[in-house]
């Protein structure tokens, strides 16, 4: 590797229980990420520190977002969609909505829903992927869907009934379809 390749770098701390996911079986995930982004990834599995280096700032930024997504509970295949244009990652900290430890579990439950129904419904209506991990709710998707998924999750976290949130999302989906027909 030439020294000019490593003009830019980021250091990211990830939860130790997500290090193995980032590395993958026989290093496949790490290798795949390096090849797709033309970067170098160094992982300190004891500390959960990840150093990424490369010469292309756009690829480096994308890789940082992919690693952040993996660290927030997404599987690497879904996280890789962040390489697509118009895709983004949103991370909502639940601390903004919690009052105590019991509230955290209740809020996580509201977003996930019984048997994962709430999360699945929001994903379906917005074309996004949602991960509830630790004290965060994270979303990956195209920017339009990302915006609506975030708003829907915020409504749930603020106590709106699930049915109202779904109706609101269905109305947004209908508006978008009508708008696409006009364009």
More confident residue, 4 or 143: 143
- Residue 152 CA to its chain's centroid (Å): 16
Work out the average pLDDT over 23-47: 95
pLDDT digits (tens, 9 = 90+) for 109-128: 999 999 999 999 999 999 99
Q: How confident is the model at residue 6 (pLDDT cuts 50, 70, 90)?
A: low
pLDDT digits (tens, 9 = 90+) for 151-165: 999 999 999 999 999
Which residue ranges form the domains of the chain, and what is each CATH number?
Answer: 3-75 (3.30.1370.10), 87-182 (3.30.1370.10)
pLDDT digits (tens, 9 = 90+) for 57-105: 999 999 999 999 999 999 999 999 999 999 999 999 999 888 777 899 9
Please tell me the least confidently modeled range out of 38-42, 82-86, 175-179: 175-179
Contact partners, residue 20, CB within 8 Å, separation at least 6: 45
Work out the average pLDDT over 130-156: 96
**For residue 1, what pLDDT is reported?**
39
pLDDT at 146 over 50: yes
Work out the average pLDDT over 127-154: 96
Per the prediction, the chain carries an average pLDDT of: 92
């Amino acid at each position: 590797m030439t020294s000019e390749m490593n003009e830019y770098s980021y250091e990211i701390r990830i939860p130790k229980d997500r290090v193995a996911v980032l590395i993958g079986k026989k290093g496949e995930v790490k290798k795949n990420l390096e090849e797709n982004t033309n970067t170098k990834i160094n992982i300190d599995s004891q500390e959960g520190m990840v150093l990424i280096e490369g010469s292309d700032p756009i690829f480096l930024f994308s890789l940082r977002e992919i690693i952040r997504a993996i660290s927030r509970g997404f599987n690497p295949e879904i996280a890789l969609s962040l390489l697509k244009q118009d895709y983004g990652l949103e991370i909502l900290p639940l601390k903004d909505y919690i009052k105590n430890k019991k509230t955290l579990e209740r809020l996580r439950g509201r977003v996930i829903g019984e048997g994962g129904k709430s999360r699945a419904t929001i994903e379906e209506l917005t074309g996004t992927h949602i991960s509830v991990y630790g004290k965060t709710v994270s979303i990956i998707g195209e920017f339009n869907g990302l915006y609506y998924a975030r708003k829907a999750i915020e409504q749930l976290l603020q106590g709106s009934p699930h049915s109202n949130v779904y109706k609101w999302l269905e109305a947004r989906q209908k508006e978008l379809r009508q708008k696409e027909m006009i364009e």
